[in-house]
Chains A and B, each alone.
Chain A
Amino acid sequence: MRRTFLVLPASVALLIGLLTIPASLQERRASPAKGGVGDITGPYEVPDPKWPAWAHPYPKPGHIWGSQGGVFAESPNRIYLANRGELKLPDTVPPNFPGNWGFFNQQAATQPIANMVNCIVVVDGEGRLIEAWNQWDHLFEWGRGPHQVYISPYDPERHVWVVDDMRHAIFKFTHDGKRLVQTIGILDEFGDNDDLTRLRRPTMIDWLPDGTFFVADGYGNTRVVKYDKDGKPLMKWGTRGTGPGQFNTPHGIAVGGSPPRVFVSDRGNRRIQVFDVNGTFLDEWPGIAPHSMMMSADEHVWAVDSISDRIVKFDLTGNVEFSFGQFGTRPGYTWAMHQISADQDGNLFIAEVFGGRTQKYRPRPGANPTHLVRGRSLMPMAGSTGN
C-alpha cells in the first residue's frame, strides 16, 4: 500500500508539496503551475477576500468575527456558517487590515473572550445574509461557540446538527432553525470514557444511510460513540493511547465505502484510523493529523491536515491522490482549517479557526474534475423539488 507521510514541522510546510507528493503528481507540477508556489489553491481560483460580503459590516462597530468553527454548504445558495463569537478589534487597525482576525497573528481567535452573537448564520452564494439564528446564541455562551455544523446527506428533513465541544453536546435543529429538536449528551456535564449518556468535548459527526451516526468524542473521552437514528447510544470504542483502536484527540470522522467503514482522524497521534461500523480496527494511515475530514461524493476521504495546512485527497485504502494548500493569512492561504464543505456547483468552503474566516473557493475554468472536492448529494427535502 502506498502512503504519503505529511508530518513535518509547520515551518517547512512549503517543502511538503515538493517532498511528499507522489511522483505522478510531481510530474504534473513540472507543467506550468496554476496554483503558484506550493500549489496554494489547487484547482480553485484565489478566493475573493470580501466573501462573505456581509461578514465585514455585520458585526457591531469595532468588532470582528472570531474563530470560524464550521461551514456546511447545503446548496450553492444556502451555506451555514458556524462562528465562535465576535471579538473586539484593537483600537487602531492598520489600513491594510483585510477583515479577518488571523491578520493579527493571535492564535485561536478565541482570545480575548468572544461575545457569543451571530453564532449560526446562513448566507447565499454571494455571501448575503439569509438567516441569523440569534435565538440560539445563548446555547453557546458557556462554551467557545459552535465547533462544526452539518446536515446528514440521508435526512429528508435536513435537520441541522451543531457540535459544541465545550458544552459537551450536539444540537439537532429543524432545517429552519426554529426548533431545537434534540440534544445529544447532557449540556455542560462531561462524562468519562465508559459513560454513554454524557460526552466529553465531542468534535465531529457522520452518518450511515440508515441514519445511524458516529460521533468523535473527542478531546476528553478519546473514543467514538455510535448512535442509532433516534440518537440512542449503542456502543463506543477507543481509549486514550497510541495503539490500534486507541486515540489522542479524535477530531474528525468520515463514514463511507462498501462495506461501510468509519475513518477517524486521530489528530494527536498524527494518523487516520479505519474501523468497521462496529469499531473493529482495520487499518491506520500514519503521517497526517487532520482537524477535519469529509467523505466526498466520489467516495474519497478529504482530510485537512493541521500540521501542513494542506487538503489531502485519499482513496479509501489510504493512497494519497492529490493535495494542495498552504499556511497563511492572505486570500487562498489557510490557518487551521476546521471544516470543509463543497456545494453541487463545485465551490469549496473552508472554515478556519485560527485564521478567523471562511473562504469560498470557486473552481478554475478547466480544472481537473478529480481534483475538486465533491460534496455528497443530499436527499431531496421532503415536500421540495430542489436540492
Chain B
Amino acid sequence: MTMRLAFLLLAALPAALSAQARPDFSGTWKHASSMPANYPGSNGWGIPSPTVVITQNAGGMTIESGQFGRQSMKVVFRLDGKDNVWEGPSASQSGSTAIVKWRTKASWDGSRLVIYTWNTALNQMRDTMSLSGNTLTIVRATEQPGPSTNATLTYTKTP
C-alpha cells in the first residue's frame, strides 16, 4: 500500500512541477518597448498594441488587443493543445476586409507559452510568451505574403 502511494506520488510529481512552472499571464499589460524597426506589417497585423488584456484559466487564454489588425479583437487560445477555429473579419493585404476563417493554437515549452494565430487572409503570427515578475516578454514572428517580421516586445503589468 505504501509502495503504491509512493509510486502514485512520484508519477504525479512531474505534472505538478510542470503546472507550477506554468505562469499565469492574466492582467492588463502596457507596451514598454520601442516599435521594432521592421514594423509595421500591412494593415496593422502584428503591430504591438499599446495595451493588451489577458485572461487565463486552466482551459484557455483570451487576448484582447489590436495586434490582430487595426481594430481591437478578442482572440481565444485553448490550452489543451487543440485548435480553436472561428470566423471573423480580417483585413487582407490589399486593405479590403472580409469574413475569413481564424485559427489559434497554444503549446507550452517549459514555462514559455507558444501561441500561433492564423487566418485565411494570409495573416500569421507566432508569439512566444514568458513572464518575469511584472514584465511580459513576447518574441513575435509574423508572416504574410510580404516580408517576414521578427521582434521582441516587452510589456509591463499595470496595477
Contacts and interface: CB of A to CB of B under 8 A. Distances in A.
Contacts of B98: 112-113
A382 B151 CA distance: 49
Nearest to B96: A112
A200 B122 contact: no
Nearest to A193: B150
B145 A144 contact: yes
Contacts of B55: none
Contact of B94 (A111, A141, A200, A219): A111
A200 B143 contact: yes
Interface in A215-241: 219-220
B145 A190 contact: no
A219 B145 CA distance: 9
B92 A113 contact: yes
Interface in A163-188: 166, 188
B120 A142 contact: yes
B103 A192 contact: no
B118 to A, nearest CB: 6
Given A144-B145, A219-B148, A112 B92 contact: yes
B152 interface: no
Contact of A189 (B101, B116, B122): B116
Interface residues of A, number: 18
Contacts of A143: 122
B73 interface: no
Contacts of A110: 122, 145
A201 B148 contact: yes
Interface residues of B, number: 22
A378 interface: no
A166 B148 contact: no
Interface string B84-113: 000000001110101011010100000000
Given A111-B93, A219-B148, A188 B118 contact: yes
B136 interface: no
B12 to A, nearest CB: 30
A113 B100 contact: yes
A192 B141 CA distance: 9
Contacts of B137: none
Most chain A CB inside 10 Å of its own CB: which residue of B118, B147, B148: B148
Nearest to B125: A190
A108 interface: yes
B65 interface: no
A166 B145 CA distance: 8
B53 interface: no
Contact of A190 (B100, B101, B124): B124
A112 B96 CA distance: 8
Interface string A89-114: 00000000000000000001011110
B20 to A, nearest CB: 27
Nearest to B119: A142
B148 A200 contact: yes
| Closest CB pairs A-B (n = 4) | A220-B148, A111-B94, A144-B122, A142-B118
7 contacts: A110-B122, A111-B92, A111-B94, A188-B105, A201-B143, A201-B148, A220-B148
